[in-house]
Amino acid sequence: MSVLFLDLDGVLVTSSSRRAGGRNTSMDPAKVAMLDELVVEVGASIVVSSTWRSSHDMPGILLAQWPGIPLHQDWRTGHWADIAPDATNAFRGIEIADWLARHPEVSTYVVLDDETGFLPDQVANVVMTETDRGLEHQHIALLRHRLGGSSLTILR
- What CATH number is attached to the domain comprising 15? 3.40.50.1000
Question: Are 1 and 105 within 8 A, CB to CB?
Answer: yes
Residue 154 lies in a domain: no
In a domain, residue 155? The reply is no
Q: In Å, what is the CA distance from 5 to each residue of 20, 68, 106, 152, 156? A: 25, 17, 12, 20, 24
Q: Which of 16-20, 134-138, 151-155 has the highest mean pLDDT?
A: 134-138
User: By C-alpha distance, which of 97, 148, 139 is closest to 120?
Assistant: 97
This prediction has a pTM of 0.88
At 36, the amino acid letter reads D
| Residue 82 lies in domain | 2-146
Q: Is residue 52 part of a domain?
A: yes
Per-residue 3-state assignment (H helix, E strand, C coil) for 90-105: CHHHHHHHHHHHCCCC
In a domain, 128, yes or no: yes
The count of structural domains within the chain is 1
Query: pLDDT tens digit string along 100-116?
Result: 999 999 999 999 999 99
12 falls within a domain: yes
Alpha-carbon separation of residue 22 from 8, 27, 82, 141 (angstroms): 16, 10, 34, 30
151 assigned to some structural domain? no
**Neighbour count for residue 24 (Cβ, 10 Å):** 10
Does residue 50 lie in a domain region?
A: yes
Which tens digit of pLDDT belongs to each residue from 47-93? 999 877 777 677 888 899 999 999 999 999 987 767 777 766 678 89
Query: Is 153 a domain residue?
Result: no
Amino acid letter, 4: L
CB 141 within 8 A of CB 155: yes
